[in-house]
Structure 1
């Protein structure tokens, strides 16, 4: 049975639309922390010119495989088991890397490992896109985001909403240069970076 995340059903169309300008040229994209796999299936179905590679830790693999197999899309190969804290980055031949709702769910060392993996997988001038809730100038952007942050820190004090400026600086340490940020529904943002050096 395929796992279903209701928030994916709500936000997959806006995410796909926001990513389209970076996907329309085609190429290979890697999704880190694919979760259920719903985003990847939805995007691959809308962007047949892009090969979309799902990946996540071993515990998520059965769900990813169920979504990928059921979709039967030629541009959606079988998912990879990939733990950014232990595994080497994939070969540096991806035109883009995407991650959704991951940076606030994990602790700082995992965020650093994810950024390192993203940078290591990208070709020169490749795109890195990170979607999720972020604080701005140290402030919550909604009461819902504040409540989410409290819940996250209650389960793991090292997790929680990151400030946009912090993420931009962190990414720069891995040669990911900030390009732009786009407002998304439900007080989320899409941060776009490009690989330099």
Structure 2
């Protein structure tokens, strides 16, 4: 099987890594929600060797992720587990829960009810003082941050009416309800953001 490839993942990996190096400096066990092609996990795992990087996605994407893992020298990146936001997350026992979480380009793809479930999962499955990094496009004060994001939102909705770029204000409300505190909101290339939260 040929490895799946995302040009966007290749373009944004370095700017994201620069922030993850600081945010995850003292963390040990990160769960990636929606590993997609597996490119980010393989790249970040090599440069964050102190972390156990747990990949996850729907089962349909596991084969592609595994093709990337087969070729990585990083031994700290783990084979994907199934995380379906419609169901409870298959995480370690309460004494070994994840102390960090990373997700990229997921919240605008999944439906709003699943975005809600995503934050419920954060509340239930992360340790106290866990760090959370969420990458993707967001609207501010109900407005798109660029014309390209507005066009992207139209494309998303034509593909699936339940998807779309989310309002940051709604995301922050869900985060607060999950016990998360916004630490940083980083401006990223291609009109994206990297939200950094800490669990209270």
TM-score (norm 1): 0.94
The aligned residue for residue 155 of structure 1 is 159
The aligned residue for residue 20 of structure 2 is 19
Aligned residues: 196
Gap regions ≥5 residues in structure 2: none
Is 2:195 the partner of 1:194? no
What is the SS of the residue equivalent to 1:39?
helix
The aligned residue for residue 173 of structure 2 is 169
* Cα distance in 1 for residues equivalent to 2:168 and 2:140: 6
The aligned residue for residue 47 of structure 2 is 46
Gap regions ≥5 residues in structure 1: none
| Aligned partners of 2:46 and 2:73 also within 8 Å | no
User: Which 4+ runs in 1 deviate beyond 3 A?
Assistant: none
Per-residue Cα deviation, 1:60-109 (whole angstroms, up to 9, x for no partner): 11011111121142111211122121233513521100100000011111
Selected match of 1:178 from 177, 182, 194: 182
The aligned residue for residue 103 of structure 2 is 99
* Cα distance in 2 for residues equivalent to 1:68 and 1:177: 33
Q: Kindly report which structure 2 residues correspond to 1:47-196, keeping only aligned pairs within 5 A, or say none.
A: 47-91=48-92, 92=94, 93-196=97-200
* Cα distance in 2 for residues equivalent to 1:180 and 1:24: 15
- Superposed CA RMSD in Å reads 1.3
TM-score (norm 2): 0.93
